[in-house]
Every structure is written in C-alpha cells, then in structure tokens.
Amino acid sequence: MSAPLLQVSGLQSGYGDVQVVWNVDLAVQPGAAVALIGSNGAGKTTILRTLSGLLRPLAGRITFGGEDIADSPPATAVQLGLSHVPEGRRLITGLNVEDNLMLGAYLRRDGRAAIRADIERMYELFPRLAERRRQDATTMSGGEQQMCAIARGLMAAPRLLMIDELSLGLAPAIVDQLAETLKTVRNGGTSLLLVEQDVEIALELADHVYVIDQGRTVLDGPSALIANEPSIREAYIGS
Ligand code: ATP
C-alpha cells in the first residue's frame, strides 16, 4: 500500500484546559474516502479543526503528504492541499457566490487562468451555482449554501477535502444530490474526510469509517463491515 496522504497518531486536542480528543489515530490513503461518525459532542468537529490548524494539538502527530503539520497554521495546510468545509457553511455575508469561490482560491499561486478554469468547473459540477453566481451567497437555500461551501473548499485545489456535516439541516433529496457530486469529485482524484451525523450517507460515501465516542476511536473498519456491526445498527441505523 502507498503511504497515507493523511496520517494522524496519538492526537489529543481540546479548548484551553478542557481536553476533548484523546489519543486518536487515523489515516486517509490517497484517493480514499473516510468518514468519522459518532454522537453529538463526541469530538469529531474538534478533530477536523485540529487537522486544519485552527486548533493546536495538545499532543500527537499529524502528517499530510509526508509533511509534519501538527504545529502549522491553517494557511500551510491549505497550501499543502488540505481544505476544510466547516460545519454551518460559514459563507461571507455581502459576498456573492463567485466572490466566495474566489476566496477559496486566495492562497493559490497558479495564476488567474487556472483559477478561472476551476470556477467554470465548479459551475459544471454545481449548475445551480452558475445560475446564482451574482447572488449574495448567504441569501440562498441551505442546500445551495452547502454547494457553495463545498465549491469554495474545492477552489483551493485540495488533495484532501474535509467536510463537516454535509447533510445537516438539508432535505434528503438535496443530500443525495450532494453525495452524487462528491462521488464525481472523488473520481477526479480528490480524497475525502467526512464528519457525518447521517450514518447511512457516511457508509455510502466512505470506504473506511471511524466511530468516535467521547473523544476516542472506539471502532474502525471498512464501511461494509461497520454497516453490519450490531452496535452500529442499533445506535445509528435503527434496524
Ligand atoms: P457535533 O456533531 O455536535 O458538532 P462533535 O462530535 O463534532 O459533535 P465537537 O463539536 O468536537 O463534537 O465537541 C466536542 C466537545 O468539545 C463537546 O463537549 C463540546 O461542548 C466541546 N467544545 C466544542 N467547542 C468548544 C469550544 N469552543 N470551547 C469549549 N468547548 C468546546
């Protein structure tokens, strides 16, 4: 097997004196899709925020593309190809869709033509955004805002796209549409790391799943095995 794109070992993290992540190990292989599942407050968001440099780990190693990024600022992670779509979308009020997409490319150094070409690629991937390119992004529907947030994340030209709660607050039909788009993104070579409360969507999109409970990894394995795990079926799938 090739070296993992992202490798995390012994990760500990939290907020001030409050530790919420304890000794988490995880890996994302190049081209893979991985999901973190677990109940509210388990620490999944905190893990993503630590990986992208928004929080500094208390301990542990984070390597991305072979580089140690545990103490790096968020801009370094983005420049290396690690892009984070935060929970709640966090679009900028007063900026239209296209300006939000441009913002996603702000650390790129490959020139206007490449960025312009990628904006057009985003409009092919999300035709709804093309129709709304001049609309204030925060006035769009929840599903459209999620499309914009994902497209903004992709505008960094990432090797790994991390998405926190793709499905939160969205109608099932929109979630299915977003899931199909993410399969296309992945087929294009971008790896995925998803934090997802909808376990069925997580199992559909990911090849490997980690179950996080109280800041610890309590179970992990290929999605097909996790899907048949009685404790998972009982806790999350309802059958
Ligand atoms: P959810 O799906 O509800 O977001 P989660 O698994 O992503 O859950 P986290 O958001 O990482 O969980 O939260 C883990 C723990 O950290 C929770 O107990 C939460 O209250 C705490 N926490 C989160 N953000 C902060 C913060 N800014 N300051 C202090 N504690 C925080």
**42 CA distance to ligand 1 middle (Å):** 7
Give the number of the atom of ligand 1 that is nearest the alpha carbon of residue 48. 11
**87 CA distance to ligand 1 middle (Å):** 11
Phi, psi for 96 (deg, rounded to 5): -80, 175
Model pLDDT, residue 229: 84
Q: Regarding beta strands 67-68 and 59-64, do their DSSP bridges make them parallel or antiparallel, or are they unpaired?
A: antiparallel
ipTM of the complex: 0.93
- The whole model's pTM is what? 0.94
Give CB contacts under 8 A, 24+ apart, made by 112-120.
Answer: 115/155, 118/154, 118/155, 118/157, 119/155
Give the number of the atom of ligand 1 that is nearest the alpha carbon of residue 197. 2
Model pLDDT, residue 92: 84
User: Other C-beta atoms within 10 Å of 74: how many?
Assistant: 16
**52 CA distance to ligand 1 middle (Å):** 16
How far is Cα 154 from Cα 122, in angstroms, rounded to an integer? Answer: 8
DSSP calls for 186-218: HHTT-EEEEE-S-HHHHHHH-SEEEEEETTEEE
Calculate Rg over the CA atoms of the chain.
17
Q: Helices H, strands E: what count in the chain?
A: 10, 10
DSSP calls for 46-92: HHHHHHTTSS--SEEEEEETTEE-TT--HHHHHHHTEEEE-TT--PP
Give the number of the atom of ligand 1 that is nearest the alpha carbon of residue 39. 6
Model pLDDT, residue 187: 96
Which run of H or of E encompasses 112? helix 111-125
**19 CA distance to ligand 1 middle (Å):** 10
User: Other C-beta atoms within 10 Å of 110: how many?
Assistant: 11
pLDDT tens digit at each of 239 positions of the chain: 679 999 999 999 999 999 999 999 999 999 999 999 998 899 999 999 999 999 999 999 999 999 999 999 999 999 999 999 998 778 888 999 999 999 999 999 898 999 999 999 999 999 999 999 999 999 999 999 999 999 999 999 999 999 999 999 999 999 999 999 999 999 999 999 999 989 999 999 999 999 999 999 999 999 999 988 888 777 776 54
